[in-house]
Structure 1
Amino acid sequence: MLWHAIAPVRRYTKASHDVVRHPRLCSDAKILLLYVQGLPDGQTRVALSEHGRKLGIKGRAFQRAKEQLVVNGFVHERRVSGERGLWVTHQLFSNVPLSDADALVVWREAGVGAEASPSVQFPTVGEPGPRTVGHQLPADEELGENSSRPPTEAPSEVEGEGEDGVPAVEPSPQEVEAERVLLSLRNSDRQLRLGVREARELVGLAVEWLRRGVSAGELRRVLSSGLPSNGVRSAVGFLRHRLEMKMPEAPVSEQRAPGRETVEEVQEAVEEAALPAAPPPPPYVPPLVTCQGPGNEHVFRAYSEETECPDCQQAAAYARWAERRAADLGIDLAEDAAKAVEAGRDPDGWRSRLAAAAAAAGGGSRQ
């Protein structure tokens, strides 16, 4: 293969070999990654699907490329509540893989998803409008529940106190990540829509999955795939059952709590580590046995209680067959072999061998 390349001096994008030679990214995903990396700042606010449409990557091809970028940590998505209660999806695109915790730090530093205070918005309070006639509900009729946005947190929890007046504990990064995965399941299927309180009931089980080495993307896939054909009646009950029944096995190093080992167990572990590994046992070799068959004395390896080697057993069986065959046809094997020798034919042919075997079998039976 001939290779010819001229390094560009302008209008080029630096690409890492880890991206170009990534084994789990298809060509569409790599092209999309390099294309977005080289965009000017004014075009970075466009959705990723728009860039894919410009490159001719549409439909299933775009979904496959985007899924590979999300799974491998190049693309992160986050749904937040924007102005007037509308949901907005923010996308984070990186030329290096980022974990969910790293992406959360980037979003916090950029101030993405932070709601503006009421005094910043204009106007702060809307002007009074005219009264609508004929649209007032009766006194005994209640308004329906508005499920367009998730329930907000209680004021006491926002201010740093729990429901019982106890100061709230700051959640760990794993708890934040687990809650985000549980709340994002509504994007995969509407049947898995959870409220904030429902998600926090399942955070403990989800954190245990993350502690046992399961990534956030894999946890989301396990919880949202293979839903029942007759639908999900209760999202929180279904997810609790799946989290408990499909819990992966804990690593060997974590199956026992640290600090519970006794002094004898520690010393025994140190001694076992210092000793060389025992060699594997040698393979079984059957003993040599002297063959009881005719001919010169020879030995063979007997795997059970055989007294003759396989060659002698085969020769004896062939001789018995030849004797029965000759008796059925009325042929004298010894006379046929003598005629063959007188006629000058090969005495070692199949006829002579058959006659010799028949003679040997006859002599053995007479003895």
Structure 2
Amino acid sequence: MADTQPTTVPCAPVAPHPRAASGYGKRSAPDQDRPRPDAFSHLPEREAFLAAFIDRLPDGAAMDVKTLAAAQPRYGQQAVRSALTHLSTAGHLRRVQETVGNGRSQWVYRTYFTRTARDDTWWHRFLTGATSPQVQPDERPQPARPVAHANPRPAPPAPSPAYAALAALGTADPRMILSAAECAALEGLAAEWLARGATSAYLVTALTAGLPPEVHSPGALARTRLTAKLPPTPPSTPTPTPTRIMECTECGVPGRPEALPGGLCRPCRGDSPPPNQPAAHLQAQRTHHYAALCRVRE
């Protein structure tokens, strides 16, 4: 008789999974372990199945309960909702409101998912931008292995863009042919031009335009021009950090990451709320949330 044990590997969806509105939906958390068949073997069967299903979805896929229930044949909306709560407490996902756009004035709803279970400290650091999450050891880039040859000879390193631009001066104008030693000596000055936003083509033009009829020392002339015509340092424009407000995975009430351990608020975790004040709990949370939105938009 054939083995009929259930599998946690989800079937491929019959139709393409719906995408959320632009900017919304699934977002993959950084520094995850590589995909493997037993990535969710520590979870119960239902949660393992849905976690594997979500893991295969692309970023931007719709993550609402109704869509997830309709996209796979095994579990309905109530089961999916319960499974998402379990995946949240297990450290695999968090629901977040986040600012996007150059002015950081638009708010979107996203679900961050990771196949690598994370604790509350990691999620807090990631969502608040306090520190960069640590890269997993097996995710670090590995050095390339040398290729064995009968007569191994190390390949010369590729020239830097600054060195290549200096070496190209003689092609642009034969009066500015530089030796290898001169290119190496001037490489640092040329690299500073590129660091300040100049292109290699602009650098070559600046060093070859308006030359005298005869150039007796192209290296000295290049050094003079590299120093005298050095472009100004461009003004720094720091990238604004997005504002993130976590939501309870179960009920959607907003709150700070430290107030939602496991991605759940106190009532949804099963902790006893203050007597006869369940409505006040939700009202206070939402009041703080909308006050924060107003401060951000000011």
TM-score (norm 2): 0.34
TM-score (norm 1): 0.28
Say which structure, 1 or 2, has more relative contact order (CA 8 Å, 6+ apart). Answer: 2
Bigger radius of gyration: 1
Greater share of helix residues, 1 or 2?
1
